[in-house]
Structure formats: C-alpha cells, structure tokens
Amino acid sequence: MRFTQILALAASLCIAPAYAQEAGPSFPPLVAQELPAFIGETIPLPTVPADTQDTEQWNRVFNQMWVRNVSRPALYVVRPPVGRSNGRAVIVVPGGGYSFVSFGSEGIDVANRLAANGYTALVLKYRHNSTPRDADEFAAEVLASFGSLGSGTLVEQPMAMDDLASSIDVVRAMADDLNIDPDSLGVIGFSAGAHTTIRLLEERSQAELLDHVALIYPPLPEPVGSGARPDLFYAISVDDPLFQQSGLAPLQSWLAESNRVEFHLFSGGGHGFGMRPQGTTSDGWIEQYLNWLELQ
C-alpha cells in the first residue's frame, strides 16, 4: 500500500472525517514545504539547548499543515489587531497522536480566531515521537497509530508535557511584552494536545497558574487524576471512537472535584474535526468556546 492510499485510509478513520463522507475522493500526496511564510513572531522554548539540530519536517496533506520530527520546540504568536487586545492569552496545543503536530486546523486556524476576538494566541510546536523521514514509511506508521483509535491507550510523551509546562512559564515571564495579564492565561488542547494538558494538570505545578483550560476530543480512557482544576471547557462528538471508548468517565472524575465545567457532546463530527467544517453541530464549537471564554 503506497503513501496516498495509507493516508486516505487514515483520513477515513479519524484524521480528515470530511473526506470520508465523499465517494471515491482523490487524495493528494504529502507535500514537503518550508516553514510557512505567514508565520511571524516565534518564541523558542528553553527545554532544549539553543544549538540543538533542527530536524523538523513541514508537510501539507489533505490541505492540512503538519510538522513532524520536531526537535526545537517553540511558540508561534498570533496577536490581536491593534486596539483590540483584551489582555488575555491562550496557548493552543494541537493534536497529532504524538506522531506529528497538526499545525493547521488545530493550531494556527484556532489561533487566528482567538486573535480576531481579542486574545493573544500562542501555538505550541512541541516535541513528540520521532517518525521515519521517508514519506511511505511515515504513512504506514500513521496508519498503525490512528487505525487503532479508541481501542487502546495513547503512549505517554513526557517531552510534550515538558514543552507545555515551559511555555506557561515563558508566557507568564513575557507578559509585559505580550501585553497580557499573566493571571488570565489559559490552554486549549486537541486530541494528543488535550492528553498533554490533562497530564500537566495531574502532575505539574504550572497547572496551578492556569485560569482556564479547554479539552477538545481528549484521548483518555480512564478518569482524570487528582490535580489542578481550572475552569474547564470540554467538547467531543458521540461518534468519536475516543468517546465510545471512554464515555463520560473523564468528565465524571473532573466533576467529583469541581463543577466549573462547560460540556458539549455533539451528535456528529468524528475525531479530529478542529476548525474544518463537517456539516454537523460540531462546526459550532469555536463560537461556543469563545462565548464561554467571554464569560470567564
């Protein structure tokens, strides 16, 4: 099975559910690209030495932007329009199954919407599992990873949690430069990014510094362990294999310690919808999230 066939199957399972609704779609190959030109302000994270070799690969497939083999974590800053800042910041943690970082629909696209509404958004490019540099070998690995979605436990990735914890420290330290209130900092995580956020809440002191968090289709088959409980926005679709695996267990464990929760269970949308329209009620999640943020 060649690269495009493998990724087409992966897409039909979870990565690009919109494509799976079409009959016999044509899937493009993985296209290598340089760091996208529209990305401007970058903040390197101190979790690796400054002279660490850059091994990352930027790719575009299914009209989505991915970066993989990240060795130098960083935050990409998207500021609100001049005169529109509300002084609040959100760190955006994309998913990707710890095989890549879904930088487009779960990263920069989310950041742009946040910035348009007055928030300073910072997309986290975090370290994850290394993957084959060859396109076909990488595609086979993606299939093996996502093909079993909802049937097992996501392998832990401590480096991603280190990078998220560091990003919280860095953003707070740069509050004046970013024109934000360090006590109004939040995190929104998608899939593996939500998993990283949960582990941070359970294990790291930086979690106590967060004002609010959002978990979008988190892969967590077990209850959330005791830890920090900032205000929570939680969204997932009933047809997501992860929801079918875990049900309401993560939410119920959270509610046992805090009732400051906004929960949305959509009738459709699958896994990994991010900012991509699905023609289901999950398309409205970003407006619901922004409304919730406004009232925090």
Q: What is the C-alpha separation between 249 and 127, in angstroms, rounded?
A: 28
| Contact in structure between 216 and 198 (CB atoms under 8 Å) | no
**pLDDT exceeds 50 at position 10:** no
pLDDT digits (tens, 9 = 90+) for 210-265: 999 999 998 877 778 888 999 999 999 999 887 777 778 888 889 999 999 999 99
Euclidean distance between CA atoms 34 and 17, whole angstroms: 26
Least confidently predicted of 64-68, 126-130, 160-164? 64-68
Predicted pLDDT of residue 2:
43
User: Domain spans of the chain?
Assistant: 33-132+153-294
Greatest mean pLDDT among 44-58, 145-159, 210-224 lies in 44-58
Is residue 221 a contact partner of residue 195, using CB atoms and an 8 Å limit? Answer: no
What confidence score (pLDDT) does residue 6 get?
A: 41
Residue 21: is its pLDDT beyond 70?
no
Tokens (6 digits) for 133: 């540099």
Any idea which architecture 33-132+153-294 has in CATH? Answer: 3-Layer(aba) Sandwich (3.40)
pLDDT of residue 226: 85
pTM: predicted TM-score of the whole model, two decimal places: 0.88
pLDDT at 268: 86
What integer is the mean pLDDT of 35-60?
87
- 79-119 tens-digit pLDDT: 999 999 999 999 999 999 899 999 999 999 999 999 999 99
List of residues 6+ apart from 122 with CB closer than 8 A: 43, 75, 76, 77, 78, 89, 90, 91, 92, 111, 167, 171
pLDDT of residue 279: 92
Q: Report DSSP state, residue 47.
A: T
- Span of 29-38, 53-62, 165-174, 273-282 with lowest mean pLDDT: 29-38
Bridge-based pairing of strands 64-68 and 101-102 is antiparallel
Percent of the chain with pLDDT over 90: 60
